[in-house]
Structure 1
């Protein structure tokens, strides 16, 4: 059984973490395979939206502690971070296509922070988020200390990381940690509906928007204004912009091609 499953339909790539027996915790094989699958989605022009989700009861429990406590299997923390999680986060942010984290269950440790690195986070009503690192004497990684304070504020992020509190899906939504919570009975349907909507949008413009958001984390105002100018010119040269304007004039729904 592959630790990562991928299906592509209707311009949507669904990437499923598939180690349900260990709550989709990461070992080296799974981390490297996820990187490979993200690369494939990036280069596949047919893919215009990506869903990242988990199989079974959990989204992702973070690092497989059996691996790091095994004398034979343990790659060491430097290799785990520099070859596993950091490259995954960098890929999530660099792919200029919308990535939806569909958090179907518990997201703990690195699993929570990988979800927060995605463009849109939605959650099953019974999902939960846990910055579990302090429970075992570690510090938050996988860009958690970068994204979480920016999403919910310094004080709240500091408390959640130090105390390791379990945050319900509804509380996470109220904090601004995620976009929406979907009810259990309609979770899969709502995730697909969201992905289908965004896959039909102007992918080029969405990718440029993602680039702007990435740069906004470090740019000053003048740098950001200049980048907006440059990328707006690039967007205005796209086929989707021409179609969008034409459809507006003709009073019809645009048919974007993601170009």
Structure 2
């Protein structure tokens, strides 16, 4: 069975990490498929939002520890990649985090269970994180002598602040869904019994909303992390002008005056 499952429902693309027997630990096939599907979704007008989740009881446990052991044993035997090849391969996989963060569509991590290491990094690269009350979060890297990848140090610092991010990385303690919500790592916590329904309700609401406006909003919010206020004013003026030329804007104004819900078409 494929390591990544895909489904489109109500303009929502569901990408499901699918190695449930290993808590959806990453594989080369999984990450290659994830990058490919995100790349296609980014330019597909039929996709209004993307949900990343995991099969079974976990979201993603990060790197495959068994694979790490095999790689280390091969290295000891002299059969190993060069450092340059290893870095290049890791960067190819890390493009998944970059696309989740930058693509002009709203991305949602549906954290149904444990999210650790690079799996947590993937969740943090998304715009919104909805956590089941069964979810658990941990950076995990310190436990296996790694420094971290997939953008997690950047994302966690911006989500919870430098002091808390350092604590979570250095100690690698696991926190529950309620604590993740309290510190700003999760946006919402919902009961496991209604998790899928609540995720879909939110995702389909976004996917059928003013998706062009969302794209400009996301670009502005990303820029706000690193740009000065005056630069944001310029970006907002441009985006506001461009979205004011869309069919969605005209429909929303008309619907407001007619006292009815708008029907957005993403154009």
1:64 equivalent in structure 2: 64
Residue-by-residue CA offset, 1:191-245 (whole Å, 9 max, x unaligned)? 1111111112100001111111111122111111111111111111111111111
Q: Give the Cα–Cα distance (whole angstroms) in 2 for the partners of residues 22 and 99 of structure 1.
A: 24
2:16 equivalent in structure 1: 16
TM-score, L = length of structure 2: 0.93
Instruction: Report if aligned partners of 2:138, 2:175 keep a CA contact under 8 Å in 1.
Output: yes
Of residues 165, 189, 213, the one that matches 1:205 is: 213
Instruction: Spell out the pairing of 1:62-101 with structure 2 (5 A cutoff).
Output: 62-71=62-71, 77-85=86-94, 87-101=95-109
Q: Secondary structure at the match of 1:59?
A: coil
Q: Secondary structure at the match of 1:15?
A: strand
* Long gaps (5+) in structure 1: none
Instruction: Report if aligned partners of 2:112, 2:192 keep a CA contact under 8 Å in 1.
Output: no
Instruction: Report if aligned partners of 1:5, 1:15 keep a CA contact under 8 Å in 2.
Output: yes
Instruction: Report if aligned partners of 1:67, 1:74 keep a CA contact under 8 Å in 2.
Output: no
Figure out how many residues of one structure are paired with residues of the other and give that number: 258
Q: Structure 1 residue 69: deviation in Å?
A: 2.5
1:31 equivalent in structure 2: 31
Q: Give the Cα–Cα distance (whole angstroms) in 2 for the partners of residues 93 and 147 of structure 1.
A: 9
2:188 equivalent in structure 1: 180
1:244 equivalent in structure 2: 252
Q: Give the Cα–Cα distance (whole angstroms) in 1 for the partners of residues 80 and 23 of structure 2.
A: 19
2:163 equivalent in structure 1: 155
2:142 equivalent in structure 1: 134
Q: Secondary structure at the match of 1:107?
A: strand
Mark the CA change 1:243 to 1:83 in structure 2 (over 3 Å): closer, same or farther: same
1:105 equivalent in structure 2: 113
Q: Give the Cα–Cα distance (whole angstroms) in 1 for the partners of residues 246 and 65 of structure 2.
A: 47
Q: Give the Cα–Cα distance (whole angstroms) in 1 for the partners of residues 33 and 66 of structure 2.
A: 19
TM-score, L = length of structure 1: 0.96
Instruction: Report if aligned partners of 1:202, 1:258 keep a CA contact under 8 Å in 2.
Output: yes
Q: Structure 1 residue 79: deviation in Å?
A: 3.4
Q: Structure 1 residue 80: deviation in Å?
A: 4.2
* Long gaps (5+) in structure 2: none
Instruction: Spell out the pairing of 1:191-230 with structure 2 (5 A cutoff).
Output: 191-230=199-238
Mark the CA change 1:45 to 1:199 in structure 2 (over 3 Å): closer, same or farther: same
Q: Secondary structure at the match of 2:39?
A: helix
Q: Give the Cα–Cα distance (whole angstroms) in 1 for the partners of residues 206 and 110 of structure 2.
A: 14
